[in-house]
């Protein structure tokens, strides 16, 4: 490496992923190489993709991280996915690195992609989540897919994290993409679903694809969740995308199809692609 630099190699040149050699060294756990590059003047904020601080955070190399910060690394800089180093540390389960970043002033709401709270919710690290909320993390902030941390926790099956977020006032109808009720329906977590409904979750709200939680439950083969939603008054014709009857027909759940029809499902209603349930049920 030193020989290449002596021969004129550009220390901050980027690879095809927008990473400098310093980032690559840190991503590979090569601390010795990273320090040589720093001695040679490698930029701690260089790169259009993953930054050096993100790589160190992902590996949990706290001392290197602190060295980068001392040299001027921007604590809330984003990587190519709109994530800060704090989010990257939490996604990687590096709680020590995350706490070191928080001590350095990392923003708990920073990032245009996945937020720190979403990452902690996904990993089910309830104590870290509470710490982020105590520091002002917005409980209903959305990630790049329009999901709140509550939805992310439920998608990942992290019921403990979901309940902690509900205790912190998370909105049961928040999010412009997948809603919390849809996530619980997909996982078939009936008790959580009932809790969301008791807190005012809209039973026929649509997700980003125009589907209700009932449709999502049926698509996922979660008949228990589907029946709980029907008991809660879910509309058998609700949704502007795939309808519940189409989902049941697609999965071949004949008894559920009959139950939906007995409750008034329109047998020839069309889905978003102009298909009836019969068309969906028939083989291609």
Which domains are present in the chain? 1-106 (1.25.40.20), 113-173 (1.25.40.20), 178-284 (1.25.40.20)
The pLDDT-based confidence of 144 (bands split at 50, 70, 90) is confident
What pLDDT is stored for residue 177 in this prediction?
85
**In this predicted model, what pLDDT tens digit does every residue of 189-224 receive, in sequence order?**
999 999 999 999 999 999 989 999 999 999 999 999
pLDDT on residue 42:
98
Residue 182 has a pLDDT of 97
Q: What mean pLDDT, rounded, does the chain reach?
A: 95
CA atoms within 13 A on the CB side of 258: 3
Could you give the CA distance from residue 210 to residue 32 in angstroms, rounded to a whole number?
A: 52
* Cα distances (Å, whole numbers) of residue 26 to 39, 189, 241, 245, 268: 15, 40, 45, 52, 58
Q: What is the mean pLDDT of residues 1-13?
A: 96
Polymer length in residues for the chain: 284
Give the pLDDT confidence score for residue 240 in this predicted structure: 87
Structure confidence by residue, pLDDT tens digits, 76-127 = 999 989 999 999 999 999 999 999 999 999 999 999 889 999 999 999 999 9
Tokens of 202: 């809209």
Q: How many CB atoms sit inside 10 A of residue 115's CB? A: 30
Rounded mean pLDDT, 226-246: 95
pLDDT of residue 168: 97
Cα 175 → chain centroid: 12
**Does the pLDDT at position 284 exceed 80?**
no
Band the pLDDT of 263: cuts 50, 70, 90: very high
């Amino acid at each position: 490496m030193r020989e290449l630099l002596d021969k004129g190699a550009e220390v901050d040149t980027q690879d095809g992923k927008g990473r400098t050699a310093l980032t690559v060294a840190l991503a590979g756990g090569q601390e010795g190489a990273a320090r040589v590059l720093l001695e040679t003047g490698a930029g701690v904020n260089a790169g259009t993709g993953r930054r050096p601080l993100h790589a160190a955070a992902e590996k949990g190399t706290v001392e290197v991280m602190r060295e980068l910060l001392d040299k001027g690394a921007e604590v809330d800089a984003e990587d190519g996915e709109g994530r800060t180093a704090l989010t990257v540390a939490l996604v990687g389960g590096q709680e020590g690195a995350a706490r070191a970043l928080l001590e350095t002033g990392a923003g708990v709401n920073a990032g245009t992609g996945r937020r720190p709270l979403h990452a902690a919710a996904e990993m089910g690290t309830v104590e870290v989540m509470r710490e982020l909320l105590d520091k002002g993390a917005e409980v209903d902030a959305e990630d790049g897919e329009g999901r709140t941390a509550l939805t992310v926790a439920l998608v990942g099956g992290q019921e403990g994290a979901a309940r902690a977020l509900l205790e912190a006032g998370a909105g049961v109808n928040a999010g412009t993409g997948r809603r919390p009720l849809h996530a619980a329906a997909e996982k078939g977590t009936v008790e959580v679903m009932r809790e969301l409904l008791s807190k005012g979750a809209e039973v026929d709200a649509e997700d980003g694809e125009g589907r209700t939680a009932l449709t999502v439950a049926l698509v996922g083969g979660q008949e228990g969740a589907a029946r709980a939603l029907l008991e809660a008054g879910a509309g058998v014709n609700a949704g502007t995308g795939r309808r519940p009857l189409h989902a049941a027909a697609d999965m071949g759940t004949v008894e559920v199809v009959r139950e939906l029809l007995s409750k008034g499902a329109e047998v020839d209603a069309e889905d978003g692609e102009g298909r009836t349930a019969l068309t969906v049920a028939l083989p291609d």
